[in-house]
A and B are shown apart, each in its own frame.
Chain A
Amino acid sequence: MTNEKNVKYYDNLAVASSPHLVTALDTQKTMMWVLIALIPSFIASVFYFGAGAVILTVVCAACSMFFEWGYERLLGKKVTVKDLSACVTGVILAMNLPANLPVWMAVIGCFVAIVIVKQLYGGLGRNFANPAIVGRIVLLLSFTSYMTTWPVTRLNQTADALTGATPLGLLADGALAEAPSLKDMFLGNIGGAMGETCTIAILIGLVILIAKKIISPIIPCFYIGTVFVFSLIYYSVTGGDYSALHMALFHTLAGGVVFGATFCATDYVTSPIMKYAKVAYGIGCGLVTMIIRLFCAYPEGASFAILFMNVMTPLLDMVAQNYFYGIGAAEKAAKKAAKEAGKEAAK
Chain B
Amino acid sequence: MFGAKHLNSIHAGHYKNTAGCATEVMPVPDVVKISMSQNIGAPCKPLVKKGDSVLVGQKIGDTDAFLHVPVHASVSGVVTGIETQRNAMGGYDTLVVIESDGKQEIDPSIKPPVITDQPSFISAVKESGLVGLGGASFPTWLKFNPRNLGEPMTLIINGAECEPFITSDHRTMLEDAQNIIDGALMIMKYIQAPMCYIGIEDNKQDAIDQFNRMFAEQGITNIKTFPLQASYPKGAERVLIYEVTGKTCNAGVLPADLGCIVSNVTSVAFLGQYLKDGMPLVKKRVTIDGDAVAKPGNVLLPIGTMIHDAIGFCGGYKEEPRKILMGGPMMGRAIFSDRMPIVKNNNAILAFTKEQSLIPEETACISCGRCHNACPFNLLPTGFADAYEARDVKRLNDLKVMQCMECGSCSYICPARRPLAFINKLAKGLVREASQK
Contact = CB atoms under 8 A, between A and B. Distances in A.
Given A15-B336, A273-B369, A321 B380 contact: yes
Contact of A10 (B1, B12, B324, B382): B324
B399 A321 contact: yes
B331 A18 contact: yes
A27 B1 contact: no
Nearest to A217: B1
Contact of A273 (B5, B248, B352, B380): B380
By secondary structure, the A interface counts as loop
Given A13-B335, A321-B399, A269 B366 contact: yes
Nearest to A272: B369
B366 A273 contact: no
Q: Tell which of A9, A19, A218, A275 has the most Cβ of chain B within 10 Å.
A: A19
Contacts of A321: 380, 383, 398-399
Q: Tell which of A10, A12, A14 has the most Cβ of chain B within 10 Å.
A: A10
A14 to B, nearest CB: 5
B364 A125 contact: yes
B434 interface: no
A52 to B, nearest CB: 32
A10 B337 contact: yes
Interface in B330-356: 330-339, 352
Contacts, number: 178
A329 B7 CA distance: 10
A18 B336 contact: no
Interface string B355-374: 00101100111111100110
Contact of B325 (A10, A20, A123): A20
Nearest to A83: B363
Given A21-B164, A125-B366, A327-B377, A9 B415 contact: no
B57 to A, nearest CB: 24
B413 A15 contact: no
Interface string A80-94: 100101000000000
Q: Determine the interface band of chain A, counting residues with CB < 8 A from chain B.
A: 35 or more
23 contacts: A1-B31, A9-B337, A10-B320, A11-B339, A14-B323, A14-B334, A14-B359, A15-B334, A18-B332, A19-B330, A21-B12, A21-B412, A26-B416, A27-B415, A29-B415, A218-B1, A268-B368, A273-B382, A274-B380, A326-B377, A326-B403, A327-B377, A337-B5
Interface of A: 1, 7, 9-23, 25-27, 29-30, 80, 83, 85, 123-126, 216-218, 268-269, 272-275, 321, 325-331, 333-334, 336-338
Given A25-B415, A26-B415, A273-B367, 20 more contacts: A9-B337, A10-B321, A15-B323, A15-B336, A18-B333, A18-B421, A20-B332, A20-B357, A21-B12, A21-B164, A23-B10, A29-B415, A124-B366, A268-B366, A268-B368, A268-B369, A269-B367, A274-B380, A275-B1, A325-B379
